[in-house]
Structure 1
């Protein structure tokens, strides 16, 4: 093998996965067909759960120190959710994807992982032992597993003939990074009298410290093909139709056309090939949910591939990647399609749609509704289907961050190992058999006993009784057979 895991695609999904494999002690190679990192902002925000996951690996603090970011208020279909802003330890932040990619690439390079660019994939050949990736220049890379993180038009997905059901885009809109004059009083979502719509979001500042905005210009049911270049005059015309002379375009940094296509692969696993990020799911870009969902894919898959390579993965562990992540992406597609309808993304100005939006806006003022939507949009409401979840509310959810005295529980996950919180020191003898895969902590803390997977999700929680039998089952289910692992 040239490498244990080959990752095709060096976006946030691919690079986060590479870091997860590095933490797991598994060799990995990342290739990308581009000759240099993209300078397009693309996605523009980080969910609370994404930030928690980066914090668990010690990456959040240096990322925030290296890139401009702003605290933001989440929205659903353009309706702000201010009552949800301070519910989680790490609130929603506005930060362009280009800044996240730059940070991750520099971090990987510092750890000895260089992105191999100008590698355009032409074929993938699997056998029972591994995968051979063949590139357009004739070069080959042999790996035990291959992960497709190569975007919405994934070459890998096509080569493995993965079913990609869904719908084609029915309309296009313009997404642009701009500098504007007079936008300080412009609403986040504004309609013009002719049916055109403008959405404005903060993107931090440019290299000169000047504020940048993400602008989405849509409505009127535009069917302009995606490959038709966007012009500054086209954007000026749209701004004028919506704002009159109040808002002017100062600089157009970049622009592209987006669609409301919605597709989700039928299977995330194809033998030794796994699909992640936009290679597995595409939808209208609302709230950076595509990028955050892709990072979630990487975090879920990384430790499981690491376990498989190192020889301690229990039977079926790799299959839980599809079982856990496919429903998450399906839920994201549903909420994005609902937002698209309520926003009248195609610009129909249908009275029935407008009436539904008015009713939804009124309902969204209720705290319980805002909290429900926030759980969905922040990633904090994701609950994986796991044995024991019917009896323990924590099982399947992101682990709470608890104070253990000298350390907080999320910091223990930086090793990439599992964590057993064991107040009262009840499970020391049992846990010792898995001591090469889990760390035990919290013996003197007033916390609930729980077993936390390397990706930060609770896979067992104890009650007032001993619970040793259930804990032993959970250890075997998620961390393999007791005793030393193979450490290939």
Structure 2
């Protein structure tokens, strides 16, 4: 249930963009009792690019855990199962292989049976393993339903055109209407109006290629070899009868510069594939690039950025969506505390401090893949070395760790290695899991020690954290944990003695107690 907070007559927060990041952030805020308005430019949320095959996205461990902790994962898995049952749609994508893929680096595939999961001691087996693949359409359906259920107002066909901000609030212009809010968050994509109008510096590197996602009819469906192929002019991936993704190293010259016609798509495909393949019909075509840029600041006063509005890069490895969902989880509870007026000093600024380094790392991961994909002898030689390394158990495990973000750690200070990481999903004797204890969006003091001082201390912050005393099947040698609303561990106790510095840790993240 939402927290007992009474919003002001104007909106507390306006979110620009009703994609997955904007919707998840809206859910997080509304869960905390904040009045949210989402403004979305598109009138219809459904497009072919959000469905199979091109709408398929891999969810990393932090994204899966976030959905599980908010009670959204089961619904998403049900939709995923229904989509998978459609054999026509399932056959359209190229992930069906004899061995279960665990991901790829610059098109170099590695497999789940090569990954050593025992190297991640704080990641306990969970309800969806180390990764699942879902469509953008399915994810947005689940998040929209939850947002509406919580009371989020969503206005479609009302894209943000501009805004003015003061120290006290923001006035937003969308179409012929004007809206007022205490805060504005730009979740409006790589060409973000909020970012541009807000004067955020967007630094990085320019494109080296134009990528194409194409659904076409081929005169001969066997003219191309199925699978992923590096060529003298780029790379292409093909799944029969006509699903094609390709990369043309043209410095991004054809991205959004001209319509992708049948003739253009055929010419690029012939050049990259080195074949005389003939396209007889073009059903769907979209372009993308490897341009990699990041806002130098995620906040200017009352205006913040999240998702692609804060960082863009190539879709190689499927990191962009997950990076944005992580932004939303990190920001939601912190911004809600700022709205309520009970945020401790520096809490909202910790959003940039924690998430900017994560974004920078993902951008470099994307750039490294592009460097291996260049159609030149040096890149091909380096790719051959990487292919041998990735085929080893150590190499596959390293890549899986980076792509799944299973060991993601924010720098919160403290020496214990679990601080700053995601809370392990402890399983209790009755089969329930610790992740379900975060459904209400509150902080959590998880107590395995039956220390009588902990509930007394937790009671001082009774409006903001829950104290739960239960012993899991495997406590990983821990006595107690303080967990933030986003599931990040902020404090641990490994000794049965009186816990030290717990009050300071709670005050740091949840403000002064009663």
SS of the counterpart of 2:154? coil
Separation in structure 2 between the aligned mates of residue 125 and residue 108 of structure 1, nearest angstrom: 26
Say if 1:74 and 1:85, in contact at 8 Å, map to a contact too. no
Asked if residue 65 in structure 1 is aligned to residue 78 in structure 2, the reply is: yes
Residue of structure 2 in register with 1:360 after alignment: 386
SS of the counterpart of 2:500? helix
Residue of structure 2 in register with 1:152 after alignment: 190
2:201 pairs with 155, 163, 185, which one? 163
1:404 pairs with 428, 431, 439, which one? 428
Q: Provide structure 2 residue ranges, at least 5 long, that are not aligned to the other structure.
A: 1-8, 85-94, 118-124
Separation in structure 2 between the aligned mates of residue 126 and residue 467 of structure 1, nearest angstrom: 48
Shift in Å at residue 157 of structure 1? 0.7
Asked if residue 76 in structure 1 is aligned to residue 84 in structure 2, the reply is: no
Shift in Å at residue 370 of structure 1? 1.9
Distance change (3 Å), C-alpha of 1:73 and 1:133: same
Residue of structure 1 in register with 2:154 after alignment: 115
| More divergent stretch after superposition (358-367 vs 323-332) | 358-367
Residue of structure 2 in register with 1:478 after alignment: 509
1:50 pairs with 59, 63, 85, which one? 63
How many residues were matched structurally?
466
Residue of structure 1 in register with 2:19 after alignment: 11
Distance change (3 Å), C-alpha of 1:22 and 1:333: same
Q: Provide structure 1 residue ranges, at least 5 long, that are not aligned to the other structure.
A: 202-209, 484-488
1:425 pairs with 439, 450, 471, which one? 450
Separation in structure 1 between the aligned mates of residue 366 and residue 457 of structure 2, nearest angstrom: 45
SS of the counterpart of 1:472? helix
Shift in Å at residue 212 of structure 1? 8.5
Residue of structure 2 in register with 1:143 after alignment: 181
Residue of structure 2 in register with 1:370 after alignment: 396
Within 5 Å, give how 1:41-440 maps onto structure 2: 41=50, 44-45=56-57, 46-67=59-80, 68=83, 72-83=101-112, 87=117, 89=126, 90-137=129-176, 139-177=177-215, 186=225, 188-192=227-231, 195-200=233-238, 213=243, 215-219=245-249, 223-236=253-266, 242=273, 252-344=282-374, 349-388=375-414, 390=415, 392-406=416-430, 407-426=432-451, 427-440=454-467
* CA offsets 1:224-281 (integer angstroms, 9 cap, x no match): 2423112334444555663858x88687442222122111101001101110111110
Distance change (3 Å), C-alpha of 1:134 and 1:222: closer
- What's the TM-score once normalised by structure 1's chain length? 0.88
Within 5 Å, give how 1:20-59 maps onto structure 2: 20-39=28-47, 40-41=49-50, 44-45=56-57, 46-59=59-72
Residue of structure 1 in register with 2:5 after alignment: none
Shift in Å at residue 287 of structure 1? 2.1
Say if 1:190 and 1:198, in contact at 8 Å, map to a contact too. yes
